A and B are shown apart, each in its own frame.
Chain A
Amino acid sequence: AQKVTQAQTEISVVEKEDVTLDCVYETRDTTYYLFWYKQPPSGELVFLIRRNSFDEQNEISGRYSWNFQKSTSSFNFTITASQVVDSAVYFCALSEARDSGGSNYKLTFGKGTLLTVNP
């Protein structure tokens, strides 16, 4: 069975601080996908990034960066110079990579980390 653990339930930082959100996963699949989603106070779920299990290259997108380490089954997310608008619940998720037309991928979510950025 797949499992995603986000050990940090809540994090509070002051604006401009860097913050890292941890994600540890468990799966028996050799091919899988990892995701991060953002849920701001308005409630919608916003896709941030997808990472394939065979691609361990870290990624940077503006103030966001992701560190994928297969050896420790972790996919951590860092926000550099945090801003108040970054305040949200962040979810890490894992999906199998079954080939059924390339479109059947069931997600297992972590319970989320509430990030509060104070001015």
Chain B
Amino acid sequence: NAGVTQTPKFQVLKTGQSMTLQCAQDMNHNSMYWYRQDPGMGLRLIYYSASEGTTDKGEVPNGYNVSRLNKREFSLRLESAAPSQTSVYFCASSGWGTQYFGPGTRLLVL
């Protein structure tokens, strides 16, 4: 039982490049989330998916898109990366009220 997994662990992009962050959970949770963590800011919600087939914007959705591929997988896409998107990205899933987090992806945009 791996919980929540994320790939890649670390990525360096140049401004304007695109990439997709992958997230999968094996806990049969309905809801999944993407957060970003910046120094001194705590975690901020980018997008979430309450259930398979639905997605909604969180607090900071600009510059991102998401896809809930199936119940297990929820991906985050940066279409044209910007230096302001340099951050640590966490995926999470929840069943009955408690969110469990993946190990994070550290993204550096040059």
Q: Which residues in A have some Cβ–Cβ distance to B below 8 Å?
A: 33, 35, 37, 43-45, 47, 50, 91, 95, 97, 100-107, 109-112
Q: Residues of B within 8 Å of A, CB-based: how many?
A: 27
By the criterion CB–CB under 8 Å, are A44 and B104 in contact?
yes
Contact call B103/A44, Cβ cutoff below 8 A: yes
CA–CA, A104 and B31, complex, Å: 6
**B64 lies within 8 A of chain A by Cβ:** no
Task: Give 19 CB contacts A-B under 8 Å.
Answer: A33-B97, A33-B98, A43-B103, A45-B101, A47-B99, A91-B43, A95-B97, A101-B50, A101-B51, A102-B97, A103-B29, A103-B94, A104-B50, A104-B51, A105-B98, A106-B33, A109-B44, A111-B40, A111-B41
Answer whether A47 and B97 are a contact pair too, CB < 8 Å, given A103-B51, A104-B50, A109-B42.
no
Q: Identify the closest chain B residue to A110 (Cβ).
A: B42
Further contacts, 20 of them, CB under 8 A, given A45-B92, A102-B95: A37-B101, A44-B104, A50-B97, A91-B42, A95-B99, A101-B51, A102-B97, A103-B29, A103-B31, A103-B50, A104-B31, A104-B48, A104-B50, A105-B97, A105-B98, A106-B33, A106-B48, A107-B45, A107-B99, A111-B41
Interface secondary structure of A, over-half rule = loop
Q: Which of A97, A100, A103 contacts B95 (CB 8 A)?
A: A103
